Amino acid sequence: MEKVLMKGNEALAEAAMRAGCKCFFGYPITPQTEISAYLAKNMAKRGGVFLQAESEVAAINMVLGAASAGVRAMTSSSSPGISLKSEGVSYIAASDLPCVIVNVQRGGPGLGGIQPSQSDYFQATKALGHGDFQMIVYVPASVQETIDMTYLAFNMADKFRTPVMILSDGLLGQMMEPVVFPTVDVQIPDKPWACCGHENKRSHNIINSLYLQPDILEKSVNERYERYEIIKQTCPMAESDFCEDAEIVVAAFGASARVAKSAVNAARAKGIKAGLFRPQTLVPFPVEQLNKACEKAKVVLSVEMNKGQMVEDLRLALNCRLPVEFFGRHGGIIPSVREVLGQIEQIHERIK
Amino acid sequence: MSVVFDKPHALCDVATHYCPGCTHGIIHRLVAEVIDELQIEGKTVGVCPVGCSVMAYDYFNCDMIEAPHGRAPAVATGVKRAKPDTVVFTYQGDGDLAAIGTCETVHAAARGENITIIFVNNTIYGMTGGQMAPTTIPGQITQTTPYGREPSVQGFPIKVCEMLAQVDGVALAQRVSVDSVPHIREAKNAIRKAFDNQIHKRGFSIVEVLSTCPTNWGLSPEQSLERVRSEMIPYFPLGVYKDAAVWSEKVEG
């Protein structure tokens, strides 16, 4: 298979088209704009729809419409823009519509900055919108993984009739790496629930999120949570390096996992028993994989590009049986290998 | 025995939740009659708003989607772009279309989206119990303008058809009323034209229908119809504000 050198954002856009995405609605915002630009150039040529919306709010609602009509649809944005989409995401989840939402994170809060960040972890995993719902969240750590997860995101969205987020960041979106596009036969399931005209062959379909009877609303949410339970059992993904005998397990996702990996390698070269645990899905959180990776661990160190967000899920997933420490840089600053190695060495001194 | 009056097929055989004397029922019927006459029920997708007509998905026999508040034109855009052969209409009230959804409305119009919008203007938020709408007339008493709408404080109403007539992507902007039989006939013709425009890919069509809200106006159904004539039509004059095909039929989309 041929390797090509591609930017993360453009690779994601190309992968989306190959995964059968027929409609993209977006709004310009740094550092995700290359996704829109790539699709603007290529979507129509390949029989799809690219439309620049008047706002993030409109873009996510156009996705709601296209997904309702039964086609694979996607929108992308960066942190402040994702906040604006939250209303639509809640409605999409409540209407059981499949779609893919990309967040190429930048620093926040507010307008923040345009440099890479992971400060939308809470937003992505806990509350992207009002009400009881969840969505699957994939976190790639390379351009190749961005591609692979884009295919996966569309498939899981259709399989579970749920919005799926690809949580990227300014580093992964902007960097170039050699990649291979998998040759897969895209299978899009039938969508008998879609609103695209009944052609006088069936009764009318209704896509809706309003249930004025509390018992019916409760039932609909419960039904969704039964699906989430299947997702929890079948979808968690994580990667472990050197964790079999690791006394210090460094946990990191996305861009910070690349730095953490180098730091773990450097620690190993110094004879420190360090390992890397990298969640590839944040929702569902890879609880089992984490506990397995931490069988020999004395301390877990969460390395993030924020003020400490995943660290809370690590404590919950470990049921607080191990100390979980945190090191992070934020505001758009990527932690250096030396900084992370320093943290590992400090912990090593304390526990030896 | 011959049938002289029947329910349009495009209307579901159910009782609606609308208050007695409210003219939503008439407007629903007109939309359904047009869908029947154009024989488009099988390819029509309706988008309901948030507001009194939020449950219109239970009343129309075509496929129906319930949109977030104000976002119906964006949802309709998504459906239409994904499936250009469908006939897509939104049914929106004044709060939905001209307050929280102004942006989506104006930009769908500017793009010349081939969709049909039925805009029901009753100068009040009905579903939430009668608050000031973007179309509340100066002096009108509502729950949130208890001393009457005062333009120096609450600003002026938005005249949607007059505003959208300035937008290049608009093929039809017409204001009608359903307060009398001649006006109802006129309203139906406008609604038919708005759907016909879409079928022939002429661009964005909006029909603004002046409607009543006896419950929140505190008037009887009869007095409400009288208010349409005496207060609303003078402020929101009926008529065709724009009628010009944006796209010729050759244009894709």
- Whether the CB of A20 is below 8 Å from some CB of chain B: the reply is no
User: Which residue among A234, A255, A270 closes a domain?
Assistant: A234
Q: Say whether both A66 and A127 belong to one domain.
A: yes
> Is the pLDDT confidence value at A179 over 60?
yes
B42 touches chain A (CB under 8 A): yes
Instruction: Give the one of B41, B58, B74 whose C-beta lies nearest to A61's C-beta.
Output: B74
Share of chain A above pLDDT 70, in %: 100
Q: What pLDDT sits at residue A352?
A: 84
Share of chain B above pLDDT 70, in %: 98
CA distance A36 to A45: 15
Please, which pLDDT band fits residue B249 given cuts at 50, 70 and 90? low
The answer to whether A196 contacts B86, with C-beta atoms less than 8 Å apart, is yes
Q: What is the pLDDT of residue A281?
A: 98
Q: How confident is the model at residue B250 (pLDDT cuts 50, 70, 90)?
A: low
For chain B, say whether A57 makes contact (Cβ under 8 Å). Answer: yes
Kindly state the average pLDDT of the residues A296-316: 98
Q: Is the bond leading into A236 cis (omega within 30 degrees of zero)?
A: no
Q: Could you read off the pLDDT of A133-152 as tens digits, one per residue?
A: 999 999 999 999 999 999 99
* Measured distance CA(B27)–CA(B21) in Å, rounded: 12
Q: Is A87 on the interface with B (CB under 8 A)?
A: yes
Shortest CB distance from B71 goes to which of A61, A195, A197?
Answer: A61
Are A206 and B63 an interchain contact pair (Cβ–Cβ within 8 Å)?
yes
Domain C-terminal end among A179, A203, A234: A234
The pLDDT of B209-226, averaged and rounded, is 98
Per DSSP (E only), the strands in chain B are 44-48, 63-66, 87-93, 116-121, 124-125, 131-132, 170-177, 204-210, 239-243
What dihedral angle (degrees, nearest 10) is formed by the CA atoms of B64, B66, B69, B72? Answer: -30
Contact between A197 and B42 using a beta-carbon 8 Å cutoff: yes
Task: Read off the pLDDT of each residue in A164-186 and give the average, rounded to a whole number.
Answer: 96
pLDDT at B187: 98
Statement to judge: residues A40 and A120 lie in one domain: yes
Asked if B76 has any chain A CB less than 8 Å from its own CB, the reply is yes
pLDDT band at B192 (very low <50, low <70, confident <90, very high): very high
Report pLDDT for B253: 45
A83 in the same domain as A206: yes
Which of these, A88, A89, A93, A120, lies nearest to A104 by C-alpha position?
A120
Task: Give the residue from chain B lying closest to A24, CA to CA.
Answer: B78
The predicted structure's pLDDT at residue B1? 81
Q: What angle in degrees, to the nearest 10, is found between the helix axes of A56-68 and A79-94?
A: 30
Domain ranges of chain B: 24-243
A195 and A272 fall within a common domain = no
Q: What confidence tier does B248 reach under pLDDT thresholds 50, 70, 90? A: confident
- Judge: B79–A54 Cβ closer than 8 Å, yes or no: no
What average pLDDT does the segment A210-218 reach?
A: 96
Radius of gyration of chain B (CA): 17
Query: Do residue A200 and residue A248 come from a single domain?
Result: no
What's the rounded mean pLDDT across residues A278-290? 98
Domain that holds residue A302: 238-351
Band of pLDDT at residue A2, cut at 50, 70 and 90: confident
The per-residue pLDDT of chain A, averaged, comes to 97
Instruction: Provide CATH code, domain B24-243.
Output: 3.40.50.970
Q: Are A183 and A5 in contact (CB under 8 A)?
A: no
Instruction: Answer yes or no: do A64 and B82 touch at CB < 8 A.
Output: no
Residues A34-81: tens digit of each pLDDT: 999 999 999 999 999 999 999 999 999 999 999 999 999 999 999 999
The yes-or-no verdict on residue B252 having pLDDT over 80 is: no
User: What tokens does A297 get?
Assistant: 């661990």
A326 vs B1, residue with greater confidence: A326
Q: Does one domain contain both A182 and A65?
A: yes
- What would the two tokens of residue A291 be? 């506990």
Task: Name the residue in chain B with its Cα closest to that of A58.
Answer: B74
CA A315 – CA A317 distance, rounded (Å): 5
Instruction: Report which DSSP code applies to A294.
Output: T
Euclidean distance between CA atoms A146 and B231, whole angstroms:
60
**Average of per-residue pLDDT across B113-135:** 97
Q: Are residues A192 and A125 in the same domain?
A: yes
Digit-coded pLDDT (tens) for A61-74: 999 999 999 999 99
Last residue of a domain, one of A200, A234, A268: A234
Residue A130: pLDDT over 60: yes
Mean of the per-residue pLDDT values for chain B?
96
Among B42, B35, B109, B40, which residue's Cα sits nearest to residue B76? B109
pLDDT tens digits, A101-112: 999 999 999 999
Give me the number of domains chain A comprises.
Answer: 2
Instruction: Calculate the alpha carbon distances from B61 to A80, B13, B41, B249 in Å.
Output: 39, 9, 7, 28
Q: What is the pLDDT of residue A121?
A: 98
User: Could you give the CA distance from residue B7 to residue B50 in angstroms, rounded to a whole number?
Assistant: 26
Residue A213 clears pLDDT 90, i.e. is over it: yes
pLDDT digits (tens, 9 = 90+) for B79-103: 999 999 999 999 999 999 999 999 9
pTM for the full predicted model: 0.97
Do A291 and A259 lie in one domain? The reply is yes
Residue of A nearest to B62 (CA): A204
User: Do A177 and A207 lie in a common domain?
Assistant: yes
Both A170 and A242 in a single domain? no
Span A271-289, average pLDDT: 98
Least confident residue range of A32-41, A299-308, B1-10, B63-72 = B1-10
Domain identity same for A172 and A256: no
- Which residue blocks in chain A are alpha helix, DSSP H? 8-18, 33-42, 56-68, 79-94, 121-125, 143-160, 170-174, 214-234, 254-269, 287-293, 310-317, 337-351
pLDDT tens for residues B157-176? 999 999 999 999 999 999 99
> Quick check: B55 and A195 CB within 8 A?
no
B251 has a pLDDT exceeding 60: no
Residues A221 and A320 in one domain: no
pLDDT higher than threshold 70 for residue B41: yes
Assess B179–A contact: CB distance below 8 Å, yes or no: no
* Position with higher pLDDT, A352 vs B82: B82
Residue B54, min C-alpha distance to chain A (Å): 9
Query: Distance of alpha carbon B204 from its chain centroid, rounded?
Result: 13
Tell me the C-alpha distance between B121 and B177, whole Å.
9
Q: Residues B116, B164, A82, B93: is their CA dihedral positive or negative?
A: negative
Spatial distance between the Cα atoms of A322 and A299, rounded to a whole number of angstroms: 6
Q: Please state, in angstroms and rounded to a whole number, the distance separating the CA atoms of residues B200 and B249.
A: 6
CATH number, position A283: 3.40.50.920
**Phi and psi at residue A68, in whole multiples of 5°?**
-60, -35
Q: A24 versus B249: which is more confidently predicted?
A: A24
Report the amino acid identity of residue A1.
Answer: M
